[in-house]
Amino acid sequence: MSLLDRIQHLDDALSWKGDMPTQGRYTAGIAGERFFRAIKEDGQFLATVCLDCDITYMPPRLYCEQCFAHLDEWVEVAPAGHVHTFTVVHRDLDEQMLPEPRIVAFVVLDETDGGLVHYLDEVEPDEIYLGMAVEPVLKEKEQRQGSINDIKYFRPAGGTA
């Protein structure tokens, strides 16, 4: 037989508040360190190449996912890509409405088999089409910290600023 006593009144249904308090600190990793430092210092985009599988990984990786080879072939690729897919997000992590909707996209970098997930700006949602050429807009060098947020957003290629 299951429970022999049950709660009959809601004020007997207590709950205990608490959290999982520890915080996270994440190194960028062996491949990540080189990738983000190249953006931070030179505004350059680096990828790694698996010669066996003929895959150019963006973001660069220490290993090939498909054949597990160690990747130490680094190449610089042009800061240019196209929109593979995108969405318009309306709420933040607290489920509150954003001051204004934001566009997030997966941008395939042209000379690679991968790309970057990032914001799109300087464009209206209805102007965006799959395959649209875009380029990254970076923060000023002094503001860059070696993070994905060193890139402010992507915008249509040949944009204004």
Q: What part of residues 73-132 is at the interface with other proteins (CB under 8 A)? A: 84-95, 101-102, 104-106, 113-119, 125, 130
Which residues are within 8 A (CB) of 18 and not within 5 positions of it... i.e. 6 or more apart? none
Which residues are within 8 A (CB) of 117 and not within 5 positions of it... i.e. 6 or more apart? 104, 105, 106, 107
The phi and psi torsions of 149 (rounded to 5 degrees) equal -80, 5
Q: How far is the CB of 65 from other proteins (least distance, A)?
A: 4
- Is residue 149 at the binding interface for other proteins, with CB under 8 A as the rule? yes
- Is residue 143 at the binding interface for other proteins, with CB under 8 A as the rule? no
Q: How far is the CB of 132 from other proteins (least distance, A)?
A: 13
Instruction: Using alpha carbons, select from 71, 40, 35, 37 the residue that is nearest to residue 56.
Output: 71
- Rule CB under 8 A: which of 15-74 touch other proteins? 15-33, 36-37, 40, 57-59, 62-63, 65-68, 70
